[in-house]
Structure 1
Amino acid sequence: MVKHTKKLLVQSFKILFSAGIIYWLVQSGKINFAALKNLLTPTAAAVALGLVLINLFFASERWRILIRSQDVAASPFSVFKLSLIGSFFNFAMPGGVGGDVIKAYYFTRDNPGSKVIAVTSVLMDRVLGLFAMVLLALLVMTYDFNHIVQTPALLTLFYFISGLFAAFVISLSLVFSQKIYDKGVLKKIIAKLPLSEKFLKLYESMHLYGRDGKRFILVIFLSLISQACAIVFLYLAGSMAGFTDVSAKTYFLVAPLGFMATAIPVSPAGVGVGQAAFYFLFNLYTGTTSELGPTTITAYQVATFITSLLGAFFYLRRKDRVETADLIDQP
């Protein structure tokens, strides 16, 4: 009871936090809802929803490849349905338990005995997706380095992203290294930690994902394609909203950084945090003040929510669905 109450309070705080940011952005005129009307034409709406659907599909395929690497059968459609259910719950059940936990839970229900695989594959999927965002941001910033060095804040951000990329490379190398695994170096360190048995199982499972270099590259490639779909959406939304003077290159730099901010679980599906992050990043990179960032990410979140309603449909069709309160209390 105490645990459930605590999680409920955390969820309520995150909803209020998100609502507070949105209220501030609207009151200060930093979100141009009028510009979003340009996306309501049948053609524009179809393209927008199509891009979001493709984005979610490639992200789903990334997760499926990780699952298959553990010798568990998983069809593209079955995994895609779970991904859509997870996407829906990102909006419908915000807080400490989100879409990742939901889709892992139902994957375990569909594949008995695969709890460890479900948890580690979802965790690795999130880690590699974030790594791909960092990689893309670093590549674009390096490409546009002459502009970066002219703005101290951007240069600081470049150093931070470079450090984050290095940290990812080192961490993944340690986890995936066969030599380190065989020598038991990390195992000895983990054995000294609290809950060592669980961490050891997690390490051993995550180590398996790095055995096939081609599969790892494919996962990163699918992540980049998924991100590209989201970035194209933002670019088209920005152009239709009247921000035609902003180059596509700017979107490819800002979007990965902005999506990294929305991945931090402090609001429902990144709503509110995304608006603030994109507002700051677009203004910082372009050197001007406009509603471009909040307007485009709001359009993307609305389109993602509409697409995620497919997840609600698939969830309601499940005969083994449980109440969200029961899902929250899952260990």
Structure 2
Amino acid sequence: MKTTLKFFLAFALCYWLFKNGQLDFSLVTKTLNSGYLWVFAITLLVARLFIANIRCQILLETKSENKISFSKLFAFNAIGNFFSVILPGSSAGDVIKFFYFRNLDKSLSATTVASIIALDRFVGLLGLLGIGIFICCFQYQSIMALNPALLTFIIMNVVLFAGLGIFIVVIFSNLINREKLVSKLTHYLARWPKVLGPLIDMLSIRLSFKPFFYTFMLSVLNQLLLFICIWLLIKPFIPLETSVLNIFSILPIGMIGAALPITPAGLGVGHVLFENLFKMLQIDHGASLFNLFFIANTLVNLTGVIPYLFVKSELKDRQETP
């Protein structure tokens, strides 16, 4: 029932945008007929899958006793991406990944797998916010001249980046005395065991500087490809004088909002959010522009059904084999 309501909300928001003339599906056809920028955009989306897979492999191998199969991990990540499209929110795909990742190496406990999936998500988000801060600082004068209200998003970028960075250092690095931290958490959170348990489980993951640096840089590259992909898709439909860096300045908050587990793959919610974000840059039809990325990204993620069918068949054969 809950999932049905989320789908209903997503389509209701899209219908409302369409009826108000803010969602123009003809841009999809125009994109296909306006050159080959969309081909490069799709290529970047596929490249992002490989980069994200390398990042996840590095994190898993910090705790696994054996080398993680790149191809098997890629298939499992693709399956997770597939379910993030058909289920509400990108976190739904992480739940699916959890069950598959446990088959990668017997030395990986359920707690370890869950913590690494969370860490992978955190590092990816840190890279997204890091790019946002760099661009906002570099383009500060231009952004303020365009719309002073965008200062709110700059502050949000900085606060979220700082908060997430501190959280990662405290929970996953070797810089903090774990015994004292566990003792304090147990004392202050004893009444909330559902919160205390996962936090203590995460503290079992220790990440040294080298793997963290590599995964962070991969996250920055991954998010940069995402930004370029969006730019390639919307470039034919925005004013020529619009700065690409101004576009990049709103993307971190927009992508975080679209990823919230409210509707499947941000359908509807992302459209409404980007409609308002693009208006702040004095660009009309923001929902239609986001829709171009939404369709391209959805098509790429839906290819995860292919490994899903193969893996499902393989697991079924194993169960039937005496």
TM class by shorter chain equals 0.7 to 0.9
Q: What are the ranges of 5 or more consecutive residues in structure 1 without an aligned counterpart?
A: 1-8, 323-331
Which of 279, 283, 301 is 1:283 aligned to? 279
Aligned to 2:132: 137
2:130 counterpart of 1:98: no
Change (3 A) 1:244 1:79: farther
Percent identity, please. Answer: 25
Residue 40 of structure 1 aligns to a residue whose secondary structure is helix
In the TM superposition, residue 244 of structure 1 has moved relative to its aligned partner by 3.5
Structure 1, 173-182 or 66-75: larger mean CA deviation: 173-182
2:54 counterpart of 1:61: yes
In the TM superposition, residue 45 of structure 1 has moved relative to its aligned partner by 4.6
CA offsets 1:32-67 (integer angstroms, 9 cap, x no match):
221221332584453232111112221222211111
Which of 240, 245, 252 is 2:248 aligned to? 252
Aligned to 1:21: 13
In the TM superposition, residue 76 of structure 1 has moved relative to its aligned partner by 2.4
Aligned to 2:200: 200
2:64 counterpart of 1:75: no
In the TM superposition, residue 126 of structure 1 has moved relative to its aligned partner by 0.9
> How many residues were matched structurally?
306
Q: Which amino acid aligns with 2:74?
A: F
Residue 180 of structure 1 aligns to a residue whose secondary structure is coil
Asked whether the equivalents of residues 53 and 307 of structure 1 are also in contact (C-alpha less than 8 Å), the reply is: yes
Q: What are the ranges of 5 or more consecutive residues in structure 2 without an aligned counterpart?
A: 317-322
Structure 1, 306-315 or 37-46: larger mean CA deviation: 37-46
In the TM superposition, residue 243 of structure 1 has moved relative to its aligned partner by 4.3
Aligned to 2:120: 125
2:111 counterpart of 1:116: yes
Aligned to 1:154: 150
In the TM superposition, residue 187 of structure 1 has moved relative to its aligned partner by 0.3
Aligned to 1:191: 186
Structure 1, 244-253 or 48-57: larger mean CA deviation: 244-253
Aligned to 2:221: 225
Provide the aligned C-alpha RMSD in A.
2.3
CA offsets 1:91-112 (integer angstroms, 9 cap, x no match):
1233696111111211113433
2:173 counterpart of 1:180: no
In the TM superposition, residue 143 of structure 1 has moved relative to its aligned partner by 0.8
Asked whether the equivalents of residues 11 and 96 of structure 1 are also in contact (C-alpha less than 8 Å), the reply is: no
Asked whether the equivalents of residues 138 and 158 of structure 1 are also in contact (C-alpha less than 8 Å), the reply is: yes
Aligned to 2:163: 167
Aligned to 2:28: 36
Structure 1, 32-41 or 46-55: larger mean CA deviation: 32-41
Which of 305, 308, 311 is 1:312 aligned to? 305
Q: Which amino acid aligns with 1:75?
A: S
Change (3 A) 1:289 1:44: closer
TM-score (normalizing by structure 1): 0.84
